[in-house]
Structure 1
Amino acid sequence: MTKHEKERIKLSKALMKNNAFTALFNRQSRFFYKTGRPLDENSMSSQGFDLFWDRKEISVKQGRNFYAYQHSNGGDFFTGGWLEELVFSKLYSSDRFDQVLKNLKINFKTGLSQFNKNEMDVVLTKGFKTAFVECKAGNIKQEHVYKLRAITDYFLGSFGVPIIVARFMPQANIVEKCKDMGVHIFTPIEYDYLDIEIEKLLK
């Protein structure tokens, strides 16, 4: 792992466990979704965090802690790419799985546009079983649950395990829907032993 990759993971870990940090990034993600424009040079401060970015680098400072990394698409990182990187790094560095892939291209289309999907965040295998992992840095809606369940059934059948890794605990009705549909949810509380818990689901 390069120095810049290590710095990105440090920042992502901070995002996973600090609400103020995540709120700061979420404010930026709303800007990107609205404008669709690439990053301009800018800075923001919130609750002891100072965030700076331009088109080549993003850096965050909190007291004596400083994280910086280069990027090719800062907008993607702000809008949830950080969580995908973090989850992939955690699972890829574990020796518990046969294979771990990131951003696997798939072709899944239905008559409903919200169910269409062309990429899976993280895919991992162990023995005969495969897990499709969706990473959600924002709110989880019912269509996210339906979509993941449908994709898993379509491609993997009884050998598939659908998983959502969420930055925030979903609302009670979403948690109940996941239970009903057999979709497993993990939040920051479980991050440190995420690989252990997912391995249990693949046995």
Structure 2
Amino acid sequence: MKHQINFLGGQLLPIYIGIKEFMPDKIHFIASDESKEGIKILKDIFPGIIFSEFICDPFDFYSIKKRIRSIIEKLDVQDDVLINLTGGTKIMLLAAQSIISESNLKGFYVNQDYSFIEVPSYDKKQITSELSIQDFFGLSGHKIFSAKTLSDFTENDLRVSSQIESFAASNKLYSKVTDFLRKKYRVLPEKGTESTAGNSVIKWDASIVDIHSNNKSIACFKGNNARDLFFNATWWEIIVASEIGKWAKAKEIILHCELPFKTDNKALKNEIDILINTGNKLIFVECKSGNIKQEDINKMKVIKQTYGGLISKSLLVSRYMPSQSIMEKCKELDIEVFYVYAFQRVVNPLNDIYKILGKLEKKTSI
């Protein structure tokens, strides 16, 4: 029988990885009163594994060591024992290393670069198991969420999105029209006609957005989702996601991921524009086609910490170069920034985004 001893601290990801990589028959958790809530989450994820749990003082070296020894003494001689040294306090780690040395046992430590170190040989090996987006969300206690994939959008959606991007890049009327309607309507009507400043008229329904100025047609966008693409800036998210979809390291990509509160599945808590899973890391992408506010950056920080853990990364993809204060805030919060336009000219074609994605995929610093 294969046994694994785990210490629970603030992060469940290295514990989860150790379980999935070695798949023990029974897991023995040693936790504190503060960290014991994580046991239930892991039990729900691995219903086929036998669990035992023990609560201890995470800073009492001798009581922790005694607990580990009592677990081992109750096992059969032919049983295999592996100790995950990654979680818990440093005192827990020292107690485990002491037992490993005295009892000729084995352990491992999960690194941020998705490798693990064998103990006591200290050989470094690559982790072979991969995690899904559902796995990551399950570890944060969020099992229910709605999202779309690139396959949910048609070729026409991408074509219309590209047309809107070209119009927005070449005509200031786009910003004037959208700003006018956002100020006037909290919820845009399904169809309507409005006159804006500068003799501009915009007509829309679900499948068409038509803009005239001085009785001349300026732009016309047709498609089943034309209205939503134009007014909700969904067009920029689709363009960015379509480009990211070509990145070979992306195992999963979802868009418009809506997260409900744990206590009320009908109330939405947050929305993630684009979420990338590399198999061992989540990259949260916020897409901004216009102004960027401090609250947008703060939201990115909260989402990353809540749903992705320490190893996850954040990326802001903006059409225009953010202000200096936003750039400084992103640097402070370890948020990478990619922008296409600076001073009304293209400085970073969107296909250059692979470089920054590759950087984030390899980055291990917290």
TM range, normalised to the smaller chain? 0.7 to 0.9
Instruction: Give the counterpart of 1:97 among 250, 270, 282.
Output: 250
1:156 offset after TM fit, Å? 1.2
- Secondary structure of the corresponding residue to residue 309 of structure 2: helix
Summarize deviations over 1:39-84 as a string: whole Å, max 9, x none: 31468898xx9976433223579xxx97633134725631321211
Q: Which amino acid aligns with 1:183?
A: I
Q: Deviations over 1:116-169 (max 9, x none)?
A: 843211000214111111112222111211111111011111221111112222
Specify the alignment match of 2:209 in structure 1: 58
- Count of residues paired in the alignment: 194
CA distance in 1, matches of 2:219, 2:174: 16
Shifted more, 87-96 versus 132-141: the winner is 87-96
Q: 1:26 to 1:200 in 2, by over 3 A?
A: same
Q: What is the alpha-carbon distance in structure 1 between the residues aligned to residue 235 and residue 355 of structure 2?
A: 21
Residue 94 of structure 1 and its aligned partner are, at CA, apart by: 3.5
Asked if structure 2 preserves the Cα contact closer than 8 Å seen for 1:29 and 1:75, the reply is: no
8 A Cα contact 1:164 1:186, kept in partner: yes
Write out aligned runs for 1:178-189 (5 A).
178-188=330-340, 189=347
Q: Which amino acid aligns with 2:359?
A: K
**What is the identity, as a one-letter code, of the residue corresponding to 1:20?**
K
- Unmatched segments (≥5 aa) in structure 1: 110-115
Pairwise mapping of residues 32-47 of structure 1 onto structure 2 (< 5 A)?
33-34=185-186, 36-41=188-193
Is the Cα contact below 8 Å between 2:157 and 2:225 reproduced in 1? no
More helix by share: 1
- Tell me, in whole angstroms, the C-alpha distance in 1 between the residues paired with 2:184 and 2:245: 29
CA contact (8 A) 2:287 2:318 kept: yes
Cα displacement (A) at 1:86: 1.3
Distance (Å, rounded) in 1 between the aligned partners of 2:160 and 2:305: 33
Return 88-97 or 126-135, whichever deviates more.
Answer: 88-97
- In the other structure, the counterpart of 1:133 is 285
Q: Which residue among 194, 197, 200 is the counterpart of 2:356?
A: 197
What is residue 61 of structure 2 aligned with on the other side?
Answer: none
8 Å contact 1:10–1:67 — kept in the other structure? no
**One-letter code of the match for 1:135?**
C
Percent identity, please. Answer: 25
Contact preservation (8 Å) 1:25, 1:78: no
Aligned twin of 1:10 = 162
Q: 1:52 to 1:194 in 2, by over 3 A?
A: farther
Query: How far apart are 1:96 and its partner, in Å?
Result: 3.7
Superposed CA RMSD: 3.4
Q: Which amino acid aligns with 1:159?
A: I
Greater RCO structure (CA 8 Å; 6+ sep): 1
Name the larger-Rg structure: 2
Seen in structure 2, the aligned counterparts of structure 1 residues 19 and 159 have a Cα distance that, compared at 3 Å, is farther
Q: Distance in 2 between matches of 1:106 and 1:81?
A: 18
Aligned counterpart, 1:74: 227
Decide whether the 8 Å contact of 1:45 with 1:51 is kept in 2: no
Structure 2 segments unaligned to the other structure (5+ residues): 1-152, 213-217, 263-267, 341-346
Which deviates further from its counterpart, 37-46 or 69-78?
A: 37-46
Structure 1 residues 166-177: aligned runs within 5 Å: 166-177=318-329
